[in-house]
Every structure is written in structure tokens, then in C-alpha cells.
Structure 1
Amino acid sequence: MKKRNLYLLTLLQLSLATAYAQNKKLIPIPSRVNVQADSAKSQQIIDKEWVAVGINKPYNLQYDPNIPFKGKPSYRFELKAEDNSLEGYPEGETKGRVELSYSYATSNDFKKFPQSVYDNAQKLKTVYHYGKGICEQGSSRSYTFSVYIPSSLEKNVSTIFAQWHGAPSRTLVQTPQGEVKLLSTEEFLAIYDRMIFKKNIAHDKVEKKGKDGKISYVAGKPNGWLVEQGGYPPLAFGFSKGYFYIKANSDRQWLSDKTDRSNADVEKTEIMKPLSSEFKSSTIAYKMSFEDFPKDCWITFDVNIDWTMYGKKAQTILKPGKLDVMMKYTKDKKQLTKHIVNQQEILIGRNDEDGYYFKFGIYRVGNSTVPVVYNLAGYSEKAR
């Protein structure tokens, strides 16, 4: 009888363990950080290497033990149809974002500086420049990350799941007379105190008195000043128009021209045939039909980048870049490796003082409201 009871108890424990394994709860990651304008508190740092940015609802970003990566919960990202909160550049367009940023700063990064340095960095939106995660301009680095795309993801999805961003200097400006200048912090703050910036355009600061007598400030007319804000990500992995794609962008202009919208269309542009303007270049380095992209399994990308070296004020290309991408996954119990971008010389980067940092998650573009759900994990980077 004792053996039978022990056997039944063991069966019950196994059943409960199986049920638990099949119904593990997702764990929301609630903190968000504006890496440009704020330092990250210790409780906002995720797994000692990330901070979260973007929309903050319980389902937007969660630990997912049901789709583990190397035995640990992966990061599950989700945007529903209504989760578009970013204003797009074209009039009336919206975008949605929930991502993990590898670059951020903490209060410890400012300990050796007077308080004014942090206060000024907040105004300049350069707080993250003092922290971790930004590689040097013109450097060579290796990156690895993995994505799990469910078969339920719709073909007409429009999202970037991994991207490298530039770190533009906000003190680089263009005067109303058309002169491009790199200002000192003090010179820029003198402008900051009398203007309001909307993206890269400066507006006169207009005083407004409320009914309660309180004074506030609103943006008046554009006053002719422009400020460096950045542009398209130098490298992006994503889905658009029924394709998986890898896109490299380059901008050799010292102060980016936001009216130049050179951006290769994955549907119309041939692989490694750049779309170019006077200063910009946009290249589809690789594309694959959405139907052919492996689903319901982990896809690991090994990415080697030689970032293009630029001539700063001279607005020249000193040395072109190079891109190499390996794609690895298991299908029908077979490990497959595809060399999808093979040591291609390419223009990739921005003519900034500083370099680049990595983010992954969902950046839904093109005014899309198609629901997006997928998982990411396994990030690492190192100098080569």
C-alpha cells in the first residue's frame, strides 16, 4: 500500500510540475527610463545590462519563462493596435515603441562631476553619453542576439526588432544665417534658455499666463536655428512589406539634414544597391520573404561591423565600413547556418562626435497598427 501511495504521490507531483511548466506566468517589467534626459536608478536596471524605453503597459515588456533561451526566461515584447504613442515625421503619422536599451547612465557615472554637469546633460539630452554601451566612431565590433518569431505574427507587420543608434551631439547647430557651429555647453545653454526645441527645429519661447496667474512657456514661431537630432538608425533588422530585411544607413553630413529622407524601400531596392543623395546612403544589405523566415524557433544573428570613418567638419568618407552577418537556427533537429551578408564593404554610420549603441524590442513604423508579439534574448557585444 505504501509503495502504491508513493507511486500515486509521485505521479501527482509530476502532473503538477507539468501543469506548472505549461502555465508559467509572464512577469511584467514595469520601469522605463528616458536615457537621453535621465539617469537610471538601480531598480530600473534589468539583468545588470539594460533599461527599458517606450510604452509602459503591463503586457508591453515581460519576462517569458514559457519561451526560455538557454534555460532562462526571454524578453517578450508586445504592442497592440492602439499602442502607438510616438508622432512620426510625416504629418499625421504615428509610431509605437517598447525596447531595451544597452546604453544608459547612472548617478555613479556623474559622481566625479559637479551637479551642474548632470543638470546640463539633462538639458542637452546627452545623459547617456556619460554611461555605458556606446562604441567609438569608426570602431570594429562583434554583436550577437537572438529572436523568436511566432507563426502567429502577421505578414503585413512593420517593425524593427534590432537597431543600432547614433549618439548625436546636441551642441552642433545651424544659425539662422546658415552657419554650422559646434557650440560649447555654455553657448548652447544660452540658446536653450530662450528657445523651445521641437525635434531639430528651434522655436521662440513665448510666455503664457494662465487664468490662475501661473506663467508657462509655449513654442512660438520657428526662429531659424536648427539643432542636431540624429536620423535613421545606421543599422536595423526588421520586417516590412512582406520581407525580413537588414538595412544600413550612412550620413556624412556634419549637421544632419532632416528634410533629406533617403531611405531604401525593401520592396523596391535591390540588395547592396544603395539609394544615395549628396550626403546620405541607404542600403538593403539583405532581404528574405516573410514566409521563408523561420518561425517558432530561436534565430541567432552574429554580426560583425566595421563602422565607417567620417571626416567630421570636412564631411568626407575617410574609410568605408564593412558588414558581415551569420544567421543560425535549428530546424527538424538540424543546426543550420547561413552566411547572409558576406564581408560586404558598405557605408554604415553617422558623422557624429560619438559612436553607436544597441537596442532591441519593437519599433513599429510606417503608421502601422498591426499587432506585434515576439521574443528576444542572448545579447552580447565585444570589440574586435
Structure 2
Amino acid sequence: MKKNLLPIATCLLSANFAMAQTQQLKPLPTRTNIEQDSAKKYDIIDGVWAGVGIKKKSAIQHDYALPFNGQPSYRFSLEADDNTLTDYDGKGTKGRAELAFAYATHDDFKDRPEKAYQDAQMTKTVYLNGKGRVPQASSCTYQFSFYLPSSYPANTNTIFAQWHGMPDRTLISTPNGQIKKLTIDEFAQLYNRMIFNKDTGYDKVKTTDNSGNIVYKTDKKPNGWLIEQGGYPPLAFGFSDGYFYIKANSDRKWLTDKSDRCNANVAKTDIMRPVKSVYKASTIAYKMPFENFPKDCWITFSANVNWSKYSGQTQTIVKDGQLDVQMVYNQNGKTVNKHIVDHQQIQIGRNDEDGYYFKFGIYRLGSSTVPVSYNLAGFSQKIN
């Protein structure tokens, strides 16, 4: 029997499906702070992934009852009380249980001075020294498969696959508004005397805890220093406002303006009609009503991305990007192949020197607390 070119699995119809899942789930509880820590051997999942987000055993699991290409798939779940993070605007909440394709290990630093790892921890760039990163302005092909159960609620706000920028924390704004890139030693001087909460600097205040140990807290008022912290993901697949959507974001500003809330509303924005501010663009590349989205079967997405090229300090887009996406699945015994984004010219990416990396799983935002669960598998990435 010939294998299909794309990994397609048929829907599972067993009446014992729920029972089998309960019996054949293996928790994957290890987590890695990929920006500040190297992944230990026991942290690396299937030799490919680093787990990020909430550490509950139910959050990320091997699912042997719902295999993909003969291997257990990844089951992601968040319950109502699993939002542990502050939302992008600092007001709401969000929850995360994801697998990151980019991370570094001890071996990536073994032939380098100890200070190299300490500096990477300080600047939150440990992951830049390992695998998974794709350069800015590159052309890449990605593929992954997604299984959404029919029990999944329509009123959710979740991202199941996203591509992140890699912000440079040595890029700062002084209290008088001057933007400049610091050396590692210059950044260390700031790091030693202040604490950054997201992108905002606060002076350190020396105090003691209940045991008499010296600890540092932040002053009540920001000190005027800002740091590059990133922003919306340049590319995301998810559900919001009763739709499945694909959204592309672009930010050409050298140091991201977090007060610029340019972000296309899925329900209100037409396909390929970008919402723009001075430096940003947000485009709904595709959307489909949730009730039409295929359920109880594996869907394989193939995405070809030409990331936009940015100019760095001069804050221009040198070349627009391009996005092409296909989705393939089996429905009623027939293979369905939909070309949902057809080689569209689009602004997609960030003015980050270091490029992008992929994650999939559950990223629940907008203070949504609706319990969610689904499966993912079969990821591949190729730089063309």
C-alpha cells in the first residue's frame, strides 16, 4: 500500500474512545524556561521539544489512544483555573501549555566560557544558542497536524500554533527617549541596578524577607527605562469570536511600542485587509466559521512562509513577505485538500535580528477560562 505524501489519519469512531484515552495518556510534566535555561536531557521530549507553560500533569501528555503515523500524539488540556499569566495588555489573564521547537542544551555551551551562558541567561537569549531558529527574511516550509474533537466549545479564544519573534533585550530606550543597542557589559550595569517587568524598568529596592535574607523588590514607580520585549506573534493559527483563523502580524519598529495595540479583530476584519498603525500591520489571512471547521479527524496544515525583510535601525520593510497555506483531511472516506491561503503577498514578521521559532499547543488568552483540549502531531520545519 502506498503512503500518502501528506500524513493523513482517518477519524476514530470507536465507542470506547473516551475510555481508551483515559487509560492511555502519559503525562509529560517537564518544563524549560527556554529563554533563561538550557534544556536538560530529561527535559527534552521525544528528542525534539521543550515543554513550556503550566506544569500540571494533564496539561501536556502523550496520547496513545489517538496515534499519528504510528506514534502517540500530543494531547494538550487547560482547565478553568489554569490561567497563570498576565495578558499582553497587563490587564487580563492567559494560560499556556505548549511545546517549543527552539531551545539550547548544555552541549551548546560546553566549549564556551562560563560567562557566555551567564550572559545568555541575563539577556534571556539562551535559546538562540541551540536548535529551531529560522533567520529573518528566510523562506521556510512548515507542516503539522491537528485533531479537534467535536466536544470542543465554540466560545474559546485560543492559539494552537504560533511563530514567535526573538526580541533583543540589549535594545533599550533611555528615560529621555533615546533608543540604542547596548553591549553586554553596558546591559549588565542596568541589570544590576534595576528590574524589568515585561518591557518597563524599575529601580531595585533592597529589603529583607521574613527570615532576614536580603531580597530586592521593585520601586513603585517606573524609572523611565524601556527594554525590547516583543509583541504579538508574527503568525498564529487559532480560534476566536466563533472562527478558526490565520493571522499575520508585522512590526517594523526597531524597539517595539507595547502601547500600540494594532491587532486585527477576527470577527470584524475582512480577509487580506490589513489593519495598520504607523509601524505595525495585522492581517487576517484566512478565517472559517467554527461550525464549518472539520472535527474528529486529523487535519494536516502545510505552510510556506517567506518572512518579510526589515532594515533594523532605519525601521523600514525592505521586502514584503508571502504566505501560502493548505489544509488536508479525510472526510466521509474522501481526501479533502483546501488551498486556504494562495501565495498571498503579506507583511509578516518583526524587526528582530535573530528571526523566529515555532510552538504548538494551547495558548489561551483574553481572560478566557473555558476548558479546552485537543491533539497535535507531525511537525516538520525546512528552511528553503
Common fold, TM-score beyond 0.5?
A: yes
CA 1:191 to 1:21, structure 2 compared with 1: closer, same or farther past 3 Å?
closer
User: What pairs up with 1:113-128 in 2 under 5 angstroms?
Assistant: 113-128=112-127
Which residue of structure 1 aligns with residue 300 of structure 2?
Answer: 300
How many percent of aligned residue pairs carry the same amino acid?
59
> Over residues 352-375 of structure 1, what are the superposed CA-to-partner deviations in whole Å (9 max), with x where a residue is unaligned?
111000000000011000111000
Following TM superposition, by how much is the alpha carbon of 1:215 offset from its aligned partner in structure 2, in angstroms?
1.4
Task: Tell me the distance in 2 between the aligned counterparts of 1:320 and 1:370.
Answer: 37
Task: Tell me the distance in 2 between the aligned counterparts of 1:297 and 1:40.
Answer: 33
Which residue of structure 1 aligns with residue 188 of structure 2?
Answer: 189
Task: Tell me the distance in 2 between the aligned counterparts of 1:244 and 1:311.
Answer: 33
Following TM superposition, by how much is the alpha carbon of 1:128 offset from its aligned partner in structure 2, in angstroms?
0.3
Task: Tell me the distance in 2 between the aligned counterparts of 1:217 and 1:19.
Answer: 49
Which residue of structure 2 aligns with residue 84 of structure 1?
Answer: 83
8 A contact 2:21–2:66 mirrored in 1 = no
Which segments of 5 or more consecutive residues in structure 2 lack a partner in the other structure?
1-16
Which residue of structure 1 aligns with residue 310 of structure 2?
Answer: 310
Determine if the alignment matches structure 1 residue 104 to structure 2 residue 103: yes
8 A contact 2:168–2:228 mirrored in 1 = yes
8 A contact 2:99–2:359 mirrored in 1 = yes
Q: Which amino acid aligns with 1:238?
A: G
Which segments of 5 or more consecutive residues in structure 1 lack a partner in the other structure?
1-17
Task: Tell me the distance in 2 between the aligned counterparts of 1:23 and 1:248.
Answer: 36
Which residue of structure 1 aligns with residue 354 of structure 2?
Answer: 354
After TM superposition, the score normalised by the length of structure 1 is 0.94
SS at match of 1:224: coil
Which residue of structure 1 aligns with residue 149 of structure 2?
Answer: 150
Which residue of structure 2 aligns with residue 253 of structure 1?
Answer: 253
Which is higher, the Rg of structure 1 or of structure 2?
Answer: 1
Following TM superposition, by how much is the alpha carbon of 1:120 offset from its aligned partner in structure 2, in angstroms?
1.2
Following TM superposition, by how much is the alpha carbon of 1:46 offset from its aligned partner in structure 2, in angstroms?
0.7
CA 1:64 to 1:212, structure 2 compared with 1: closer, same or farther past 3 Å?
closer
SS at match of 1:303: strand
* Equivalent residue pairs, number: 367
SS at match of 1:223: coil
Which residue of structure 2 aligns with residue 337 of structure 1?
Answer: 337
Task: Tell me the distance in 2 between the aligned counterparts of 1:141 and 1:249.
Answer: 17
Q: Which amino acid aligns with 1:296?
A: D
Following TM superposition, by how much is the alpha carbon of 1:348 offset from its aligned partner in structure 2, in angstroms?
0.2
Following TM superposition, by how much is the alpha carbon of 1:311 offset from its aligned partner in structure 2, in angstroms?
0.7
Q: Which amino acid aligns with 1:366?
A: G
Determine if the alignment matches structure 1 residue 44 to structure 2 residue 43: yes
Q: Which amino acid aligns with 1:179?
A: Q
CA RMSD of aligned residues (A): 1.5
CA 1:224 to 1:236, structure 2 compared with 1: closer, same or farther past 3 Å?
same
Which residue of structure 1 aligns with residue 11 of structure 2?
Answer: none
Task: Tell me the distance in 2 between the aligned counterparts of 1:44 and 1:94.
Answer: 27
Comparing 21-30 with 34-43, which one deviates more in the overlay? Answer: 21-30
Task: Tell me the distance in 2 between the aligned counterparts of 1:228 and 1:123.
Answer: 14
Which residue of structure 2 aligns with residue 11 of structure 1?
Answer: none
> Over residues 325-381 of structure 1, what are the superposed CA-to-partner deviations in whole Å (9 max), with x where a residue is unaligned?
001000011011000000000000000111000000000011000111000000001
SS at match of 1:66: strand
Following TM superposition, by how much is the alpha carbon of 1:157 offset from its aligned partner in structure 2, in angstroms?
1.2
CA 1:380 to 1:212, structure 2 compared with 1: closer, same or farther past 3 Å?
closer
Which residue of structure 1 aligns with residue 286 of structure 2?
Answer: 286
Determine if the alignment matches structure 1 residue 369 to structure 2 residue 369: yes
Task: Tell me the distance in 2 between the aligned counterparts of 1:187 and 1:353.
Answer: 19
Task: Tell me the distance in 2 between the aligned counterparts of 1:24 and 1:58.
Answer: 14
SS at match of 1:192: helix
Which residue of structure 2 aligns with residue 243 of structure 1?
Answer: 243
8 A contact 2:193–2:204 mirrored in 1 = yes
8 A contact 2:93–2:367 mirrored in 1 = yes
Task: Tell me the distance in 2 between the aligned counterparts of 1:212 and 1:194.
Answer: 23
Q: Which amino acid aligns with 1:45?
A: I
